[in-house]
Amino acid sequence: MIDLRSDTVTRPTAAMRKAMLAADVGDDVYGEDPTINRLERTVAERLGKEAAVFAASGTQSNLMALMAHCERGDEYIVNQRGHTYLYEGGGAAVLGSIQPQPLEFKPNGTVDLDMVTRAIKPDDPHHARTRLFCLENTHNGLVMPLDFLAEARDFARTRGLAVHLDGARVFNAAVHLGVDVEAITQHADTVSICLSKGLGAPVGSVLAGPHALMRKARRWRKVLGGGMRQAGILAAAGIFALEHHVSRLKDDHAHAAMLAQGLKGFPQLKVEYPEDQTNMVFLDFPRDHAEPFVGFCRARGVLLSIDSRRCRLVTHLDVSERDIQTVLACFEAHFSGSGIATS
Ligand SMILES: *Cc1c(COP(=O)(O)O)cnc(C)c1O
């Protein structure tokens, strides 16, 4: 199957499995797993942070960050379409007693900082204490401009807020911009990265930041049930991914661009692939066409996910240039000469 539903669907390569098999392991709750320790040092160094903590998932590492930054009754400012607010089960509120202050951000994950200013609560017992400003890069595959990140950081500093970056796909952003990832991550106090999206590891995220916050985060990880034991076998996949699967993200971006280019040839479809996009192509289908098309593709070995008329196609490690041609052929077979009107 050619699976374009997400970049989470990648399977570990033979070389990655070999690295996992060979991993030296120990009890990580005792701090004795050499491979996890190496992964944490590697990520801290790559991201320009003092320390890092390996986590089971991005949801867990984001929540560890929020709980390290915020106490009970604190508040974090977040995109109302941001992952930590919308797609993590409300964990900050449910488990952290942290109130989200969701705001309407722009499509590329930036926000009008004057609006953020207005959302910061005065220090008054009526209000939650505004503590943290949360950003996401990439957001829906879109790369945040570096100058916005610098501005956001200065803004947060002058207002006494910390910055957390949900960098599940921050390496896609770095590769797109042609910069070291540190050029991005230097603008946030803490950063969460995912190893199991485009980087192709089967499991895992890493949270990086200052020593004091990482100590708190490690404590919360245990509380959240994320104290794993001989998980170096997973960390080995992460190290392999960081060594071998970062620069190749440019191939995923090229494949997405190729796909978008091909799809623009179908007048029935509204195709979005702006210049700041990385590995995602968004499509709007004619009314009533999305559902039947998903079935049509599945029968031809192509998996898509569609939400009403909108479709997100995601490229990754397990999608080749040839696969892109196969996918385009599905669209061709379904849409060409079918007489479907543009709507
Ligand atoms: C995938 C993702 C996460 C973490 O998700 P998990 O499935 O818990 O690993 C966090 N933020 C963003 C933007 C994501 O895309």
3-state helix, strand, coil in the chain (%, to 5): 40, 20, 40
Helices assigned H by DSSP within 159-270: 170-177, 182-185, 211-223, 232-244, 249-263
Give the pLDDT confidence of 147-201 residue by residue, as tens digits: 999 999 999 999 999 999 999 999 999 999 999 999 999 999 999 999 999 999 9
For residues 141 and 224, give the distance between their C-alpha atoms in angstroms, rounded to a whole number: 29
> Tell me, what's the pLDDT at 337?
59
Confidence of residue 309 (pLDDT cuts 50, 70, 90): confident
With a 6 Å cutoff on the Cβ, whether 65 touches ligand 1 is no
Measured in angstroms, how far is the CA atom of residue 192 from the centroid of ligand 1? 9
Give the pLDDT confidence of 46-67 residue by residue, as tens digits: 999 999 999 999 999 999 999 9
> Tell me, what's the pLDDT at 339?
46
Provide the token pair at 220: 């919360």
With a 6 Å cutoff on the Cβ, whether 205 touches ligand 1 is yes
Model confidence at 341: pLDDT above 50: no
- Phi, psi of 7, deg, nearest 5: -90, 10
With a 6 Å cutoff on the Cβ, whether 7 touches ligand 1 is no
Measured in angstroms, how far is the CA atom of residue 199 from the centroid of ligand 1? 13
Give the pLDDT confidence of 239-256 residue by residue, as tens digits: 999 999 999 999 999 999
Name which of 273, 244, 251, 249 is nearest 321 in CA terms: 251
For ligand 1, atom 15, name the residue with the nearest CA.
168
Confidence of residue 338 (pLDDT cuts 50, 70, 90): low
With a 6 Å cutoff on the Cβ, whether 166 touches ligand 1 is yes
With a 6 Å cutoff on the Cβ, whether 168 touches ligand 1 is yes
Residues 297-320: what's their mean pLDDT? 94
- Phi, psi of 60, deg, nearest 5: -65, -45
For ligand 1, atom 4, name the residue with the nearest CA.
58
Q: In what order do the strands lie in the sheet with 270-272?
A: 270-272, 280-284, 310-314, 305-307
Confidence of residue 17 (pLDDT cuts 50, 70, 90): very high
> Tell me, what's the pLDDT at 340?
52
CB 194 within 8 Å of CB 168: yes
CB 108 within 8 Å of CB 278: no
Beta strands 74-79; 129-136: pairing state: parallel
Measured in angstroms, how far is the CA atom of residue 194 from the centroid of ligand 1? 7
Model confidence at 342: pLDDT above 50: no
With a 6 Å cutoff on the Cβ, whether 111 touches ligand 1 is no
